[in-house]
């Protein structure tokens, strides 16, 4: 199963690197590619969700692979957030933003996979992109 996780990660990275986009556009691409796989019932996307759920429930031996996948995902998102913030807006805690963005990705996808007819995936993706833009382009008060 860990080899499956590694193969899925490699495939996902390759998909995201096919476009030469930067700044907020790179985060838009992340949402498009991620949710495109979910919408299209991509085998890798579905397998990853089975592994995520199994690693947290019935197969705790998968938990380290799930934790590593989440950490790598957040690191990649944080890198994109830092680049987008540097190009487009005020300084931001990239790691905290990555936790939030990963939560949006995983949470929306899980809801869609459980009940596709009950989730407006296009609407959720559009709103997620707006939220990220607001996060990156708005100077928020500290504290």
What is the domain partition of the chain in residue ranges?
A: 2-137
Specify the CATH number of the domain 2-137: 1.10.357.10
CA distances (Å), 100 to each of 77, 81, 126, 130, in order?
10, 11, 16, 14
pLDDT one-digit tens code per residue, 56-79: 888 888 888 889 889 999 998 999
Residue 45: name the closest of 121, 120, 99 by CA: 121
Q: For residue 140, is pLDDT > 70?
A: no
Q: For residue 9, is pLDDT > 60?
A: yes
Token reading at 85 = 């913030």
Mean pLDDT for the stretch of residues 28-37: 92
DSSP letter for each residue of 45-108: HHHHHHHHHHHHTT-GGGHHHHHHHHHHHHHHHHHHHHHHHHHHSS---HHHHHHHHHHHHHHH
**Selected residue with higher pLDDT from 69 and 13:** 69
DSSP 117: G
Is the pTM value of this prediction over 0.85?
Answer: yes
Task: Give me the pLDDT at residue 89, please.
Answer: 67
Torsion of CA 42, 72, 53, 112, to 10 degrees: -50
Mean pLDDT for the stretch of residues 101-124: 96
Q: Reduce the DSSP state of residue 120 to 3 states and report it.
A: coil
């Amino acid at each position: 199963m860990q080899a499956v996780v590694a193969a899925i990660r490699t495939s996902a990275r390759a998909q995201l690197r096919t476009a030469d986009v930067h700044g907020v556009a790179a985060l838009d691409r992340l949402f498009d590619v991620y949710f495109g796989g979910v919408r299209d019932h991509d085998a890798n996307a579905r397998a990853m969700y089975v592994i995520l759920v199994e690693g947290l429930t019935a197969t705790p031996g998968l938990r380290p692979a799930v934790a590593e996948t989440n950490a790598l995902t957040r690191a990649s998102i944080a890198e994109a957030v830092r680049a987008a913030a540097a190009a487009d807006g005020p300084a931001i805690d990239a790691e905290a933003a990555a936790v939030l963005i990963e939560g949006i990705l995983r949470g929306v996808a899980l809801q869609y996979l459980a009940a596709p007819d009950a989730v407006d995936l296009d609407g959720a993706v559009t709103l997620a992109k707006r939220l990220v833009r607001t996060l990156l382009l708005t100077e928020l008060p500290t504290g």
